[in-house]
Amino acid sequence: MGGKGRRSAVRLTARGAIALALVATMAGYVLTALLDVEHIVGAAFVLASVLGAALVNRRELLSLVVTPPLVFFCATLIVELGRAFGSVSIMQSLALGLYTSMTRGAPWLFAGSALVLGIAWRRGLRDNVRELREELKAGAEVSRQRQPTFAPEPEGYFEPKVYGTPRGED
């Protein structure tokens, strides 16, 4: 019963995979604060991103590939916004916290994004891109055919309507 065609029964939507990465990254921030180990955030992000890319439906790979940087930024923004509320200068603390957290997480962000792209490419991202191009091409051709070259407005369209009886000359 162990054939090659056997696949995992668990499939995620792109939204589910994105939510998984966001929740895992947020949990990584919590564990980092509790255990004081900086690499937990990045490892949680990469692991969740890879897991999401492996479990997402093939037709939704294109949506998933572009989101890892946004997910990491949103998780970092939420955490740093929470930290900034306890400081004297919220904006300064937020800006500095975002800068340091994004700088510290950049290698993990690039690694997670590259792994997601590689996994998605092997799972059929190329086919998704081809289908999108064909749909866009077909949509552009249809819209060109439907548009008339000149569509005049009806007579008096921009003229104001006058209600009531005309005024007499004074």
The domain limits of the chain are 14-146
Question: Which residues are CB-contacts of 127 (< 8 A; sequence separation ≥ 6)?
Answer: 58
- The confidence score (pLDDT) of residue 137 equals 84
Q: Which of 27, 52, 58, 64 has its CA nearest to residue 42?
A: 27
CB atoms within 10 A of CB 61: 24
In whole angstroms, what is the distance from residue 80 CA to residue 9 CA? 37
Sign of the CA dihedral running 83, 85, 86, 91: positive
Triad 107, 113, 116: Cα angle to 5°: 135
53, 9 contact by CB (below 8 A): no
Quick check: 83 pLDDT over 60? yes
- The confidence score (pLDDT) of residue 106 equals 94
pTM over 0.95: no
Among 46-60, 78-92, 95-109, 136-150, where is mean pLDDT lowest? 136-150
